[in-house]
């Protein structure tokens, strides 16, 4: 059994390989995709992905073993043989069902040995441990910025280095780089209030609004207070971002010029200067603008010039 995460193994050799995960020794590198591993054994397993030995006939994806291929085929067949006894949700593997069941039981068996934070899934613990070790194995090929998770690297490449916006709002035509951004944006048009106060049933569009309401109106929760200027925030992330301003730290760097910013939204606004993409359009004259503030100012002038009543934007 691993002394760090309590994971059990059938052989001492595999346990020794696994121990390297906690000691930051990713010495074995795949020649095909540059992915790194803590042991030669894991690299060998991974290489099967590139060999194409176990390949899905439906989508061409290569898998590590016959068993992995068998499980993968369930994606195409829609087969989900494992059912949750609480909510009847179904899963393709027993492992996924076990992880899901912890949502209902509240069980968090994987505990960080540094800060005692607990997790339902071992993979989440592995990712969390990188906070303490400083390990960031996923590196952007364009700006060399490193990340703890591959999904964060993918988001970074899509949001910072690409102007592709494949997701379009059905209400106003505004385009977005990710499905999540579009999903959040659509709430502006629908007025959907997904978060409801359990004390007064007041509804909110965003979770942070509910949190702030609970603090202000019902004294529920904890304010995060700046020790320098005593400004209060409802979520810890906002306080952390605020403290950077006292320290003079600007972590967000433009990939096109040396300019730096305190907030990601400030960087995003600035980067439009370097792009020809104009997502805001005046529906009176079809002129396009990079910023919403620009189209609002233009619309007032354009509506006055054409004698159209200013309905506001």
Domains 1-79 and 223-276 share a fold: yes
pLDDT at 61: 76
pLDDT along the chain (313 residues), means of 10: 63 60 63 70 70 73 78 85 88 87 86 84 83 79 80 79 80 80 83 86 86 90 87 84 80 83 80 74 75 78 69 49
pLDDT at 152: 83
pLDDT at 244: 80
The CATH fold assigned to 1-79 is Double Stranded RNA Binding Domain (3.30.160)
Rounded Cα distance between 283 and 278, Å, is 14
Rounded Cα distance between 41 and 50, Å, is 15
Q: With a threshold of 0.85, does the pTM exceed it?
A: no
pLDDT at 30: 78
Q: How many residues does the chain have?
A: 313
Q: How is the chain split into domains, by residue range?
A: 1-79, 223-276, 278-313
pLDDT at 48: 65
The CATH fold assigned to 223-276 is Double Stranded RNA Binding Domain (3.30.160)
pLDDT at 173: 79
Q: Are the C-beta atoms of 268 and 280 separated by less than 8 Å?
A: no
CB-based contacts of 219, cutoff 8 Å, min separation 6: none
pLDDT at 270: 82
């Amino acid at each position: 059994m691993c002394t760090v995460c309590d994971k059990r193994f059938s052989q001492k050799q595999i346990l020794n390989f696994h121990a390297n995960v906690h000691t930051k020794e990713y010495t074995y590198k795949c020649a095909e995709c540059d992915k790194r591993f803590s042991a030669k054994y894991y690299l060998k397993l991974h290489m099967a992905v590139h060999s194409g030995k176990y390949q899905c006939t439906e989508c061409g994806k290569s898998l590590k073993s016959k068993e992995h291929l068998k499980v993968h085929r369930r994606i195409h067949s829609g087969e989900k043989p494992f059912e949750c006894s609480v909510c009847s949700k179904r899963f393709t593997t027993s492992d996924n069902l076990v992880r899901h069941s912890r949502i209902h039981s509240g069980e968090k068996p994987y505990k960080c040995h540094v800060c005692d934070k607990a997790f339902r899934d071992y993979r989440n613990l592995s990712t969390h441990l990188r906070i303490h070790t400083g390990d960031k194995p996923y590196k952007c090929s364009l700006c060399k910025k490193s990340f703890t998770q591959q999904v964060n690297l993918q988001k970074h490449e899509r949001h910072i280095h690409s102007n592709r916006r494949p997701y379009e709002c059905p209400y106003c035509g505004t385009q977005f780089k990710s499905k999540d951004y579009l999903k959040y944006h659509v709430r502006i048009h629908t007025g959907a209030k997904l978060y409801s106060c359990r004390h007064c049933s007041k509804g909110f569009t965003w979770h942070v609004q509910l949190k702030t309401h609970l603090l202000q109106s019902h004294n529920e929760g904890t304010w995060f207070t700046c020790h320098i200027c005593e400004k209060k925030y409802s979520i810890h992330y906002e306080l952390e971002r605020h403290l950077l301003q006292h320290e003079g730290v600007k972590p967000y760097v433009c990939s096109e010029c040396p300019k730096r910013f305190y907030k990601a939204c400030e960087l995003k606004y600035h980067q439009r200067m370097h792009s020809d993409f104009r997502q805001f359009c005046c529906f009176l004259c079809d002129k396009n603008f990079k910023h919403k503030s620009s189209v609002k100012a233009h619309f007032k002038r354009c509506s006055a010039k054409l004698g159209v009543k200013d309905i506001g934007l």
